[in-house]
Amino acid sequence: MMNIELVKWSPALKQELIDICNNVDRTFLSNRLPYPYTEESADWWLGMVSEHDGKDGVFCAIAVDGKIVGNISIEQKADVYSKDGEIGYLLLTDYWSKGIMTEAVRQICEIAFTELDIIRITGLVYATNAASQRVLEKNGFVREGLQRNAVFKNGMVYDLYMYGKLK
């Protein structure tokens, strides 16, 4: 049985962050994740996390048996959307299809609903990313809508599903 835990990001984990971000499958990730992921990229991320974690976001490394293998976060939105947080996550491919992300999502939703002043969590998923859809659905997220032709990545246009989970 694997021990899956969420660990707060810290400067001590900078090299793990760099390694993960340089080795993750980017097919369904935002282009805002730089590549190559440099020490400067990690310094920026860790600084942002230290400023926002527990205030308007929850940011965690995913550890399996003590090894950092992914990242997961929920960032509280602003303005009239301030009671909503958006979830995002990534996991090294060697750890896919083992229930790790399903458990990480369960844990971070519990933390976010406790620590942040939110009443819902939104997940946006490429329509072709069936694995991520299953992760959210196993955690009680409901598919609420479809944004047609919402994403342009690597020369391709994709539809995007919107999922929601209420507190």
Go through the domains of the chain in sequence order and give each one's CATH number: 4-118 (3.40.630.30)
Pairing of strands 120-126, 84-91: parallel
How far is it, in rounded angstroms, from Cα 159 to Cα 40?
A: 33
How far is it, in rounded angstroms, from Cα 130 to Cα 21?
A: 22
Instruction: Find, among 162, 159, 160, the residue nearest to 122 by Cα.
Output: 162
What is the predicted pLDDT for the residue at 1? Answer: 83
Say if residue 77's pLDDT is above 90.
yes
Q: Say how many C-beta atoms besides its own lie within 10 A of residue 158's C-beta.
A: 18
How far is it, in rounded angstroms, from Cα 54 to Cα 131?
A: 28
- Average pLDDT value over all residues in the chain: 97
Going by C-beta distance under 8 Å and a sequence separation of 6 or more, which residues neighbour residue 44? none
What is the band of 75 on the pLDDT scale with cuts at 50, 70, 90? very high
How far is it, in rounded angstroms, from Cα 112 to Cα 52?
A: 13
What is the predicted pLDDT for the residue at 136? Answer: 98
What is the band of 25 on the pLDDT scale with cuts at 50, 70, 90? very high
Q: How many CA atoms lie within 13 Å of 115's alpha carbon, on the beta-carbon side?
A: 19
> Does the predicted TM-score (pTM) go above 0.75?
yes
Q: Where are the alpha helices (DSSP H) in 4-89?
A: 14-23, 39-52
Say if residue 126's pLDDT is above 90.
yes
Whether the ω angle into residue 36 lies within 30 degrees of 0, i.e. cis, is yes
Q: Which two tokens stand for residue 65?
A: 């048996």
Instruction: Name the amino acid, one letter, at 55.
Output: K
